[in-house]
A = this chain, B = another copy of it.
Amino acid sequence: MKKDAHPEPDDRDLFPDWLQTDPLVVRRTLSVPPPSLEDNTADVDRLVRTLHRSGFSPVRVDPSDLDGISSRLRQGDFTVSVVLGYREDHWALLEVDAGASSEPVLGLAVDLGTTRLAFYLVDLEKGIVVDRRSEPNPQIPYGEDILTRIVFASAPRNRKMLQDLLLNTFRDVTARMSADNGLDPNRIFALAVAGNTTMSHFLLGLNPTNICKEPYIPVANRFPFLRGRDLGLTMHPGGLVFVFPNVGSYFGGDLIAGILASGMHRRDELSLLVDVGTNAEVVLGNKDWLIACAGAAGPALEGGVVERGMMAGPGAIDHVRIDPNTLELRYHVIGEEKPKGLCGSGLIDLVAEMFMAGILTIRGTLNRNLECPRMVETDNGPGFVVAWGPETADGRDLVVSEIDIGILLKSKAAMYTILNIIARKVGVSLQDIHKFYVAGTFGNHIDPVMAIRIGMLPDLPLETYQGLGNTAGRGAAMVLMDRSLLQDMERVRNRITYVELNVNVELMHEFRGATFLPHTDPSLFPSVPIPKRAREAV
């Protein structure tokens, strides 16, 4: 949400209070009773017995490690430091060092996004994020959108190439992050990756062809644990590689991670999670049930479709204020630069403020009764100047057209309609929602007051809304720190119902009402003061 009200989560608050500190990989220093004629259990069996007594059972040992374990036990005079990885049905003995050890035990969480990859290097003993990085998805040259990449990947050679692009980025980023922090990448014993179903297939080199063909069947929904060496990653060769499972082709591990990040699946109260990306993905539920759906509501909201729209980043106008009396306009630019365009939150602010100032009618058209020098005629029809040429990065007027506004209003209407439909499906009212989570950068920047004013989000108490930032990366990092979330994941997968949104008459009717500002039924938005000018001008 809005920067001032809800700061972007930083390293300290990536992990919620309710999270346990039971990492996926743990280290213990153990004193094993030395052998004698009376107790002549073999070396490895002796260590396994001690681990069993310390609560680690069953322990599986890699056959190639047997000799090393024996010699390190003896080097350390039967005191060893062991690193164990949790693999649900057993513990894998990843490292045995003679004596006590103070080397760090690290994990890497990855948000495997279609557009960007985000990396979080986590110290599993201290429970802190050591470093984070973000890189563009290296597959973009082979398709901006995922469908183009799926078609490209139908040839096994191309599939291999797309996989290698990802793995090489993983290797590069890991090597750089480790070096920059003076850490040995071999100390990374766990990797948790959350991505959508197709991206997870790309990472594992799986054929994604059937994901986009009816009846939309992935190769696998659950992926076996891999080892670092299986993918040639820059980490401990025996380290765990965990790829989040999917529910299906259209509900991937990124959303499972999102649910975990919100904690909604553990609470009695009703929560709603919205992730706005290429689609708007919505999950509603509590600890007993979860329902999910997706709809095409996203691009305009993220600033992707509107002519001067852009992703949140340097040069993007993210906040706009208009004085309703003087019609004076102020804006804020990310990075304090000259503006290049508007990001999602900037657009939402703009439309909300134009509406509040009576510049926009409740239909979303420019109020031609109003005298305002910013209202101009362009090649695309009537428009509104957000920034004049001399103020902008490229020297051209930054204009948002009536057409652009229409696109945004269709997106916000789609969002609002989806929320209503999903609530109605399970017989709850949006008013019953206790927590409303907004994922993504979008979620960190938008101001819920503004989003309610344009009728995009329901008119709920402001404290209901919470921005969660990168929920895929956060969920992945949380699994590194708390292995009990692996069970949560299975519960979520078994409990979730995915509903298809069918375009029907009822939906279209609802959608049309929701394209108004804030809605054709203003009683749905009692907190929004509809300006007289905006109503009269229709």
Interface residues of A (CB under 8 A from B): 35-37, 40-45, 58, 60-64, 66-67, 69-71, 89-90, 204-207, 210, 214-224, 226, 230, 246, 248-249
Contacts and interface: CB of A to CB of B under 8 A. Distances in A.
B58 A220 contact: no
B221 A41 contact: yes
Given A37-B215, A45-B220, A207 B70 contact: yes
A219 B66 contact: yes
A524 B71 CA distance: 51
A43 B220 CA distance: 6
In order of increasing CB-CB distance, the 5 nearest A-B pairs are A44-B220, A42-B221, A70-B219, A42-B218, A37-B215
A67 B219 contact: yes
Q: Classify the interface of chain A: helix, strand, loop or mixed.
A: loop
Nearest to A61: B224
Contacts of A90: 89
A204 B219 CA distance: 36
A206 B67 contact: yes
A42 B89 contact: no
B67 A218 contact: no
Contact of A217 (B42, B61, B71, B205): B42
A120 B246 CA distance: 45
A201 to B, nearest CB: 9
A64 B61 CA distance: 21
A220 B89 contact: no
**Most chain B CB neighbours (cut-off 10 Å) among A89, A217, A218:** A217
Nearest to A46: B217
A156 to B, nearest CB: 9
Contact of A42 (B35, B43, B44, B248): B248
**Most chain B CB neighbours (cut-off 10 Å) among A35, A36, A42, A69:** A42
Given A66-B223, A90-B89, A43 B204 contact: no
A67 B35 contact: no
Contacts of A224: 60-63, 66
Contacts of A60: 224
B230 A43 contact: no
A256 to B, nearest CB: 14
A219 B61 CA distance: 13
A246 B41 CA distance: 10
Nearest to A214: B37
26 contacts: A35-B215, A40-B215, A40-B216, A40-B248, A41-B221, A42-B217, A42-B218, A42-B220, A42-B246, A43-B217, A43-B220, A44-B222, A45-B220, A45-B221, A45-B222, A58-B89, A61-B220, A62-B224, A63-B204, A63-B223, A63-B226, A63-B230, A66-B206, A67-B219, A69-B219, A89-B89
